[in-house]
A = this chain, B = another copy of it.
Amino acid sequence: MKPILASTAVGLVAFALASTTLAANLTPEEQIETRQAGYSFMGWNMGKIKANLDGDYNADQVSAAANAIAGIANSGMGALYGPGTDKDIGNVKTYVKPEFFQNMEDVGKIATNFNEAANNMAEVAAGGKPAAVNTAFGNLGQACKACHDKYRADK
């Protein structure tokens, strides 16, 4: 059980450490908007990697996209899920299910797995080998999907 417990602890530190400094005085609305901005920007970069894998492969583009994803993934996004961000606030809608906030240990595991997959993607992308990138990209997509399937409401 040791490795699992250790991994969970890392996940909780990586994801749930919502210190005042990390939140940097964002309102709940701003926290929702900022986390959505992060996922949106990662989504664009996932799309670019896919386009490279499906078409002409440009190693520099893929590596830049992977670094953007890893940089965002490692930026402490857990701080953007503070109190009051579990439901819509006026026109600011959230697509996070309430279950997310009730299962922070599971969320921490999923977040750790996602961060590891993003870091692996960046490392593999720097190597410039499309076949290896394809595998790392598949793993990263699965790590995204693990959270979407459980905790993202349909739009």
Contact = CB atoms under 8 A, between A and B. Distances in A.
Interface stretch (A48-56, A102-110, A138-146): A48-56
Chain A contact-residue range equals 35 or more
Main secondary structure of the interface of A (DSSP, over half): helix
Interface stretch (A1-9, A32-40, A127-135): A32-40
B38 A24 contact: no
A44 B26 contact: yes
Contacts of A45: 75
Interface of A: 20-22, 24-26, 33-34, 36-38, 40-41, 44-45, 47-48, 50-52, 55-56, 58, 61, 64-65, 67-72, 74-76, 80
